[in-house]
Every structure is written in C-alpha cells, then in structure tokens.
Structure 1
Amino acid sequence: MIRPQWTWRFVGADGGDVAEPASPLFTNQHDAELWLGEMWRVLAAQGVAVATVLHDGEPAAPAVPLEMP
C-alpha cells in the first residue's frame, strides 16, 4: 500500500527555494500543519519566509508566511 506523502516547501525572502532545513515526511496534512505550528519560529530564524504544504509534490493549501512579530 502506498501512503500519501505530505511535505513542506520552504521559500526564502529572495523568493528562492530553501533546501535546508529539509521538511520531514508526513502521512497526513494535519500532522504536517501541526509540525509547522510548532516549528515556524525556528524555520523563520533559519531564513524561511514562506512555507507551502505539498501533497505528493503538489501544493495542497495556500502558502503560509512565517513572519516574526
């Protein structure tokens, strides 16, 4: 049985993809979004400006800006 894969695509302030940190793989969107909710400050501090959740490589929801208050 092939399970769906959910990952995050990270984009920096310059509009380019950020390769590191790499997104873990998730088996459902809920877990992926929960992880981002816990990690967004760390990701923002590492240069990630926008995160988009991907389902099997395709965007599954609107991009999420990671802005530090």
Structure 2
Amino acid sequence: MEDGAGTEVVLDGEAAGEYGEQAFANQGDAESWIGEIWAELAELGVAQVTLFEVDREVYGPMSLSV
C-alpha cells in the first residue's frame, strides 16, 4: 500500500489488523476484496496497492482513485 508519492503507507492499530498483510487463495479473490474496501483504504491515505504472490509482484500498482 502506497500514498500518492509512492511511499509505503504503514497502517497501525486496528487498521493494521484489518487491512495489513491479507492473504487470498487467488488473484481474483484479492482483487474482489480491494474492490470492496478501496474507499476505506483511501481514507487511511492509501492511493495505490500492489498484489504479490509471496515475493513476486503479480499486479500493480493499482490506483484507488475514482
């Protein structure tokens, strides 16, 4: 998760537990989850996200802008 300048956004407290380090069975599930919570992430200062499979970048950065 990054801000508009590409700097990593570090979530803390409840947000870290709810949004940080999520794991999904497949890319479609991950993209669906982002589609459901993107506005909440944007409110936390997240402007873009990247999907990874372990350490391999799969997709991104994906903008959360409307």
Q: In percent, how many aligned pairs have the same letter?
A: 32
* Greater share of residues in strand: 1
Q: State the AA in 2 paired with 1:12.
A: D
State the alpha-carbon separation in 1 of the partners of residues 21 and 31 from structure 2.
Answer: 12
Deviation at 1:30, TM superposition (A): 1.0
State the alpha-carbon separation in 1 of the partners of residues 40 and 21 from structure 2.
Answer: 13
Alignment partner of 1:17 is 2:8: yes
Aligned to 1:48, the other structure's residue is in SS state coil
The alignment's TM-score, normalised by the length of structure 2, stands at: 0.76
RMSD: 1.4
Higher relative contact order (CA 8 A, sep 6+): 1
After superposing on structure 2, the runs of 4+ consecutive aligned residues of structure 1 that deviate more than 2 Å are none
* Greater share of residues in helix: 2
Residue 58 of structure 2: which of 57, 60, 67 is its match?
60
Give the match for residue 39 of structure 2. Answer: 41
Alignment partner of 1:32 is 2:30: yes
